[in-house]
């Protein structure tokens, strides 16, 4: 995660590297199919057209401990590479070995620790062949994402060494024109071992058990670029939107024209944005580079009236523009560039309390985010990433924070398209903050590290600046950079025309130029009760909390059985203080003790694995819901408002027992449903601190004519209190209104009781329903003994009465339709058919296949609903038809006090 005051934490330093895998440059990256050599290895056919970019289709890899041949031999065409492993175009060493079946599933049990780390203490060769038919054009190797460093060879000659090709984020362009010949060519990378404490790459900190290879490899595409004498580089658009009118926008287009020939040349740079065209001549001396700029003053057509404005998904639409630029020499196209961009305005000033307050296109926005994790082995899977971004929107989140592990271009393309905001930045607790992170891991910087860090910033700024989804860059995490480092970062950002706010740190730190971060990193990271979030102190709902949650998240039983052995499953529920390999390498987070103590103290000691998981889902639902509801309620406060919250974390890169709203396999448990409930567009909620019932409107338009009803029940279903407030109205954009406040005591109420909140619109239609399980005995926090990762609880709320709830019978009828888009939609009506008074608490529906396995991913309209006798709810689930694997869909119905049944859904 990011942070944790160093004196309190000792990390088993996790492995490094990014989730940056690389980019398919829309329209300009050639997806040429690979041919195959006689030895069966892929050979990439490189396109000849000027401006083409062809990604190497893959590699043969091998440990240098098993290769005695010289670099010249290894990098020469025809080298046999016998016994080498095939690897994809973006692959860590371990990722390739896993794909080849060398090791058992690393996500199961302790298989990961059985992989010998010593195999990755030496460099590994990455070798690839490509063919070029026409050598009259210039040829370049264009790449980044090398972890940690590499010597590069082409056709037996060295093109770069490890001192030049260092750092996961640095971008490199090697002119290999003189080395390339017609026919087959070979490029070989000698990849150096990685250590995130010593290299400016990436580490896993305390997120998960680190990969034994520390992610050494090449995790972005290596492109072979072709072009004529004049190259076109650094093409981008600087946008200026008229705010608040949003009626017009000014575009400034920039590009570097570089003469790679030995002769002077006059070139013509031309571009189009939709129907807008522009052109300019530029004179270049031999080997000269000039920036060509098209301003609205000189080119009035770049002043757009009625500009199509890009919005986050929760606020509007996501129109994108296409920029195409070409450069011609002597009338012949020499190079081309393509860029997608959006027009939007982002501001993030400090409010009167010193907190960072974001606005998009002039409208303030409460940042509701999750911390992103790539796959542990940095295996890029576009569909898997897209599924998770869709989940983020389904949860009502608007932002993803990337602390290091900055993903490839496709990630940000998807974020642009779906309207998910992104907060990328450097990570804590390793080399990146080695100069100023106290006793955290991470070597101090040597002189050679400063240019690597600056080049990393320059490369990421150039890559991310045109993505409208990217709304800031965090140049620090737990710590702000020192003066020298900050200047390097800011110089690189300025040179790249970075236009969105630069944040000094994710913690409450300041840097010499950027000033105060406006953020806090107060935790918690381990269990706290739901009422914790309502206090305006520590991690409670005030200011901008860059990473926080109540820590552990126990997945569904389906997922647990996929990730833990039978013996580990027994330990999970029987031994509350046992070390859990699937939690964290950190000694602070190696057990579930705090969580398990609270689970037993509040709900009663678990009696079986099923009972443990059942109680965990209930606990996670109430806690995650409270976290987001408290920040939502306090966002419109006049004093110390909440301005942002990043749930730590959105997901995990492996099979985990903590820090996730959704698990590795995309199943949805209590944490997921609690977050979705809290962030629904128009929402009725209960305040743990003041007992007020509050309406929060996350839509832009105001709402009026609303009616809120609150009913309190004993756990046997006996009604003890009922009040209604009508003619309610609430403004838009996160505004709130208090409907009513519950009394401090209600006669006859049991120690554990239920609160049902229902919000109806002017027509009487139910628009929000929220059910709480509460206690007359509150959780008591020991604020005075708060540690960096949690606040102790000295007394627990008594929710044990839920265990005595009578069984509720829930029936279900369902049908499924299959669309032409490859998706199926199942509609189910669930009904509490009981004849008594007992509600069915948190009725959960899972789409399963014929073998009973969940169909994932899935998008539910609603789920985990609570129904009183006679009540029903109609829910829809949408999923890929192919994920049924040919079986008919079925529905598994379960709940807190509902026996599990399965019904046909055809």
Which candidate, 221, 220, 251, 226, places its Cα nearest to that of 236? 251
Could you give phi then psi for residue 9, rounded to 5 degrees? -125, 140
Q: Rounded to the nearest 10 degrees, what angle do helices 409-418 and 382-394 cross at? A: 30
Are 457 and 475 spatial neighbours (Cβ–Cβ below 8 Å)?
yes
Structure tokens at 284: 């270049």
Strands 289-294 and 303-305: unpaired
d(CA 145, CA 166): 9
CA neighbours closer than 13 Å in the CB half-sphere of residue 25: 24
Q: Which of helix, strand or coil describes residue 114?
A: helix
The three-state (H, E, C) secondary structure of 661-730, written as one string: CCCCCCCCCHHHHHHHHHCCCEEEEECCCCCEEEEEECCCCCEEEEEEEEEEEECCCCEEEEEEEEEEEE
Structure tokens at 608: 């079986």
CA angle centred on 235, ends 219 and 275, rounded to 5°: 120
Are 558 and 854 spatial neighbours (Cβ–Cβ below 8 Å)?
yes
Q: Which of 478, 538, 798, 844 is catalytic?
A: 478
Strands 793-795 and 810-818: unpaired
CA angle centred on 652, ends 648 and 658, rounded to 5°: 60
d(CA 433, CA 426): 9
Region at 219 (left for phi over 0; alpha for psi -120 to 50; beta for the rest)? alpha
Q: How far is CA 339 from CA 245, 264, 319, 406, 711, in A?
A: 26, 28, 14, 19, 55
d(CA 333, CA 50): 7
Catalytic, 904? Answer: no
Structure tokens at 242: 């008229």
Q: How many residues does the chain have?
A: 906
Structure tokens at 517: 């971060």
Which candidate, 188, 167, 190, places its Cα nearest to that of 176? 188
d(CA 791, CA 529): 9
Burial state string for 94-122 with b = 16 or more CB within 10 A and e = fewer than 16: bbbbbeeeeeeebbebeebeebeeebbee
Catalytic, 263? Answer: no
Could you give phi then psi for residue 672, rounded to 5 degrees? -60, -50
Burial state string for 671-686 with b = 16 or more CB within 10 A and e = fewer than 16: bbbbbbbbbbebbbbb
Give the burial class of 162: count Cβ atoms within 10 A of its Cβ; 0-12 exposed, 13-18 middle, 19 or more buried.
middle
Reduced DSSP (H G I as helix, E B as strand, rest coil) percent helix, strand, coil of the chain, to 5:
20, 35, 45
- DSSP codes, 479-546: S---HHHHHHHHHHHHHTT--SPEES-SSS-EETTTEE---B-----S---GGGGGSSSTTSSSEEEE
Q: Which of helix, strand or coil describes residue 418?
A: helix
- DSSP codes, 74-87: HTSTT---TTPEEE
Burial state string for 252-277 with b = 16 or more CB within 10 A and e = fewer than 16: bbbbbbbbbbeeebebbbbbebeebe
Q: How far is CA 209 from CA 578, 580, 663, 820, in A?
A: 16, 11, 16, 42
Q: Which of 250, 413, 547, 663 is catalytic?
A: 547
Q: How far is CA 818 from CA 391, 823, 827, in A?
A: 21, 6, 12
Strands 265-273 and 823-832: unpaired
Catalytic residues: 478, 547
């Amino acid at each position: 995660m990011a942070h944790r005051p160093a004196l309190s934490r000792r990390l088993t330093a996790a492995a490094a590297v990014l989730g940056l895998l690389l980019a398919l440059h829309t329209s300009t990256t050639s997806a040429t199919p690979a041919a195959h050599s006689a030895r069966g290895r892929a050979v990439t056919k490189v396109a000849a057209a000027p401006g083409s970019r062809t990604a190497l289709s893959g590699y043969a890899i091998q440990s240098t401990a098993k290769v005695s041949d010289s670099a010249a031999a290894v990098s020469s065409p025809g080298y046999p590479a016998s016994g080498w492993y095939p690897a994809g175009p973006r692959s860590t060493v371990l990722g390739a070995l896993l794909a080849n079946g060398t090791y058992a599933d690393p996500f199961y049990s302790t298989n990961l620790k059985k992989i010998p780390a010593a195999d990755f203490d030496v460099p590994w060769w990455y070798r690839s062949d490509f063919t070029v038919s026409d050598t009259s054009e210039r040829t370049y190797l264009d790449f980044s994402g090398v972890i940690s460093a590499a010597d590069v060879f082409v056709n037996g000659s060295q093109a770069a060494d490890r001192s030049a090709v260092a750092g996961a984020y640095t971008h490199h362009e090697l002119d290999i024109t003189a080395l390339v010949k017609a026919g087959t060519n070979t490029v070989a990378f000698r990849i150096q071992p990685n250590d995130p404490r010593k290299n400016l790459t990436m580490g896993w900190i305390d997120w998960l058990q680190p990969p034994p290879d520390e992610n050494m490899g090449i995790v972005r595409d290596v492109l072979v670029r072709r072009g004529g004498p004049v190259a076109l580089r650094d093409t981008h658009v600087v946008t200026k939107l008229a705010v608040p009118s949003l009626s017009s926008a000014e575009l400034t287009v920039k590009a570097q024209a570089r003469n790679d020939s030995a002769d002077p040349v006059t070139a013509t740079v031309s571009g189009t944005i939709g129907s807008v065209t522009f052109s300019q001549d530029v004179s270049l001396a031999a080997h000269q580079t000039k920036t060509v700029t098209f301003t609205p003053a000189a080119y009035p057509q770049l002043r757009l009236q009625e500009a199509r404005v890009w919005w986050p998904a929760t606020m509007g639409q996501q129109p994108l523009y296409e920029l195409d630029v070409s450069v011609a020499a002597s009338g012949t196209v020499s190079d081309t560039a393509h860029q997608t961009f959006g027009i939007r305005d982002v501001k993030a000033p400090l409010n009167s309390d010193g907190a960072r307050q974001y606005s998009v296109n002039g409208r303030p926005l409460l940042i509701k985010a999750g911390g992103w994790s790539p796959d542990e082995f940095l295996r890029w899977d576009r569909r898997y990433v897209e599924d998770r971004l869709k989940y983020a929107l389904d949860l009502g989140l608007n932002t993803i924070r990337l602390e290091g592990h900055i993903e490839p271009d496709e990630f940000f393309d998807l974020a642009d398209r779906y309207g998910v905001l992104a907060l990328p930045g450097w990570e804590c607790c390793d080399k990146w903050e080695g100069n100023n992170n106290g006793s955290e891991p991470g070597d101090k910087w040597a002189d050679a590290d400063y240019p690597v860090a600056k080049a990393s910033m320059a490369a990421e700024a150039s890559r991310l600046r045109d993505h409208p989804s990217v709304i800031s860059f965090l140049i620090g995490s737990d710590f702000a950079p020192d003066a020298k480092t900050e200047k390097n970062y800011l110089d690189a950002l300025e040179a790249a025309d970075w236009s969105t706010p630069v944040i000094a740190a994710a913690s409450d730190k300041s840097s010499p130029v950027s000033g105060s971060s406006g953020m806090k990193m107060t935790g918690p990271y381990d269990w706290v009760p739901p009422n914790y979030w309502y206090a305006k102190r520590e991690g409670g709902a005030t200011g901008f909390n860059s990473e926080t949650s109540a820590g552990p998240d126990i997945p569904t039983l389906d997922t647990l059985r996929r990730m833990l052995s039978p013996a580990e499953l027994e330990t999970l529920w029987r031994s509350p203080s046992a070390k859990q390999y699937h939690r964290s390498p950190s000694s602070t987070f190696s057990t579930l003790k705090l969580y398990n103590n609270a689970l037993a103290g509040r709900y009663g000691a678990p009696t079986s694995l099923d009972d443990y998981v059942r109680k965990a889902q209930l606990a996670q639902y109430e806690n995650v819901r409270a976290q987001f509801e408290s920040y939502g309620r306090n966002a419109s406060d006049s004093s110390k408002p909440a301005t942002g919250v990043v749930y730590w974390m959105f997901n995990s890169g492996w099979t985990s027992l903590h820090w996730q709203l959704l698990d590795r396999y995309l199943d949805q448990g209590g944490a997921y449903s609690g977050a979705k409930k809290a962030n629904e567009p128009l929402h009725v909620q209960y305040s743990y601190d003041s007992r007020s019932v509050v309406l929060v409107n996350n839509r832009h338009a105001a709402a009026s004519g609303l009616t809120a009803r609150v009913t309190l029940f004993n756990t046997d279903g006996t009604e003890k209190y009922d009040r209604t407030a009508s003619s309610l109205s609430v403004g838009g954009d996160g505004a709130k209104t208090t409907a009513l406040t519950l009394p401090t005591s209600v006669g006859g109420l049991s120690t554990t009781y239920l609160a049902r909140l229902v919000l109806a619109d002017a027509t009487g239609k139910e628009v929000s329903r929220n059910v709480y399980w509460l206690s007359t005995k509150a959780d008591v926090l020991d604020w005075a003994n708060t540690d960096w990762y949690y606040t102790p609880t000295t007394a627990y709320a008594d929710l044990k009465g839920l265990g005595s709830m009578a069984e509720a019978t829930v029936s279900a009828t369902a049908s499924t339709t299959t669309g032409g888009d490859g998706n199926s939609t199942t509609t189910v009506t669930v009904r509490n058919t009981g004849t008594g008074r007992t509600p069915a608490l948190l009725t959960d529906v899972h789409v399963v296949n014929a073998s009973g396995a969940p169909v994932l991913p899935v998008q539910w309209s609603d789920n985990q609903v609570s129904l009183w006798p006679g009540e029903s709810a109609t829910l829809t689930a949408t999923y890929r038809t192919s994920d049924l694997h040919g079986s008919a869909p079925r529905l598994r119905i379960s709940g807190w006090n509902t026996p599990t049944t399965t019904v046909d859904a055809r």
